[in-house]
Structures are given as structure tokens and as C-alpha cells.
Amino acid sequence: MFDVLLLKTFVAVVDEEGFSRAAERLHLTQSAVSGHLRRLEEQVGKPLLTRTTRSQHLTADGERLMAYARAILALNRDAWAELTRSPFHGRVRIGMSEDFAEPRLLRLLQEFAAQYPGMEIDVQVNIPGTLLEHIRQGDLEVVIGSLCETSKPGVLLWQEPLVWACSEHQAMSRLPAQLPLALFPEPCPYRAVALQRLAQAGIAQRMAMLCTSTTALRAAALSGFAVAPMAMSQLGQGLAVLGAEHGLPELPDAEFRLFTSRDADQGVAAALSQVITMYCVARRA
């Protein structure tokens, strides 16, 4: 008989394309994930994955077992949902900023919904200011996104510096007469605080590029076309930070928060908040 935990680990390793990401998804150590896969291969008596230092691939036996593993896990979820039968039926509407629109979180939301017969999860990706207005109007049950210097209620997931991002190849010994900016449209918290701090410092600016995605914002900064306010973790390769030595004012921290509507089913909202919080803990580890 197959151990469901071992099958779940096997599927996670394949879906996440590696042991470290599977460990984050399952909230296990990497050594525990390796041990689970080793035990499963011992039970089968055959290797399930071929591994190199850079990649891994299912063996022919691994392909066969994967099909059964997915079916067994699906039946296990269905049986659990049928026998535990939550009274909740309906749609849960989640708003998230682009920072959170990642495959791992979306898969976790799918797995969460599978525990509640009749639940549907809808996701809207937008800037935090717009999402918070939607939750105030009763159009969303949960919102996750980043704000700056906020007094709004909400669970603080983590915070990190907000910085002025530019191309690492862009030489800027002194500021231009008008600082070219790449910004999201209103009501973006990064936009608001960036414009406020520049005004307080008496630095002239111009809107060089209006962006609707992080990809566009990064392109503007990477190319040297404009400077963009970004959370430190978003910088990545090719971007550098402009600071006080370049004449720019310091920006406040970006605060990544989770908000729930008062009208949401509180049991479901609490369970969903726990899933999201655990995901953020694994992401920041």
C-alpha cells in the first residue's frame, strides 16, 4: 500500500521542479523531502527520477506512478471533503497585487478550495489601492498587497525597504533637471509616497512612463529610461539602487499586508489567511 504522504511529496517535487521548492510548499525540510522520495522508491523497488546537478526527469516508471499518484490524491481530497462537509458553499473573491500572482500560491489556493465542496475561488490582480476600495465596497473577501506608512488594519506579513531603482549601467553622478519616473497609475501607494518625498525634497520630476505591470516597471528601470520606486526584493539582476549619495530622499518601508472583509465567512477567512501566511513565511525563508 502506498503512503499518501509519500505520494504527495513525489507530486510536489515534480510540480515544483525541485526539492527545495517542494519543501517550501509542503512546509518540510529539504532532507525530509529527499527521505520521502527515497522511501517511495524503496517501496516501488525502482528509481522514479533521474537527477543531475541541474535538472531532474521522471523515469518511465515514475511517469506511470505519477498518473496513479495524482488520482489517489484527488480521491483522497474528495473523500475528505465528502465526509467532513463544510457548510460553506459559494465564491471567495481574493484580490492580490502582482507581487503575489505566483504559481505556488495559486496552487495552494486550489488545494484549499478542494477541501470545501461547492467553493469557488476567484482572483483579481490589481494595485493595492484599487483592491482595498473593492474590499470596502464588498466586492472582495480577502486582499493581499503592499502599502506604505499605512494606518489601515490588516495582518503584517512582512516589510522591506522601498528604493529608487535604476539600471546598474546608468551613470547618474547628479540628478537631471527633471527626474524621469516610471510609476503605476493612481491609487498606487508607491507612486503616492515617491511623489510626496520628491516634492518635500524640492526635486522636480516628470512622468516618463505610466506602467500597468511590474514587467513594464522593471523594463523602464533596466533600460535606463526612467527611475522607479520598487520594493527591494523586486530588484533582481541588472538593477541598482539610487540613494542619498545621488541626491534622492529616503523612502519608507513597503509593508506587505493581508486584509479580510468583515462580511466574509470568518471561519473560511481565518483558514485562508493561515494558508497565505504560511506561504509568505516559506517565501521569505
What CATH code is assigned to 4-84? 1.10.10.10
Give one DSSP letter per residue of 183-251, joined into a string.
EPPSS-HHHHHHHHHHHHHT--EEEEEE-SSHHHHHHHHHTTS-BEEEEGGG--TTEEEE-GGGTPPPP
Residue partners of 235: CB distance under 8 A and separation at least 6: 163, 165, 241
Nearest CA to 258 among 136, 153, 144, 152?
A: 144
Q: Which residues of the chain have pLDDT under 50?
A: none
Supply 265's cell numbers.
465567512
Predicted confidence (pLDDT) per residue in 37-79, tens digit: 999 999 899 899 987 766 788 999 989 899 888 888 888 877 7
Sorted by where each begins, the domain ranges of the chain are 4-84, 89-285
The CATH code that applies to domain 89-285 is 3.40.190.290
C-alpha span between 282 and 29 (Å, rounded): 11
Q: Are 99 and 214 in contact (CB under 8 A)?
A: yes
Query: Do the bridges between strand 142-148 and strand 239-242 make them parallel or antiparallel, or are there none, so unpaired?
Result: unpaired
What is the per-residue pLDDT across 247-281, written as a single tens digit (0 to 9) for each?
899 999 999 999 998 888 777 888 888 889 888 88
Distance CA 26, CA 8 (A): 9
pTM listed for this prediction: 0.67
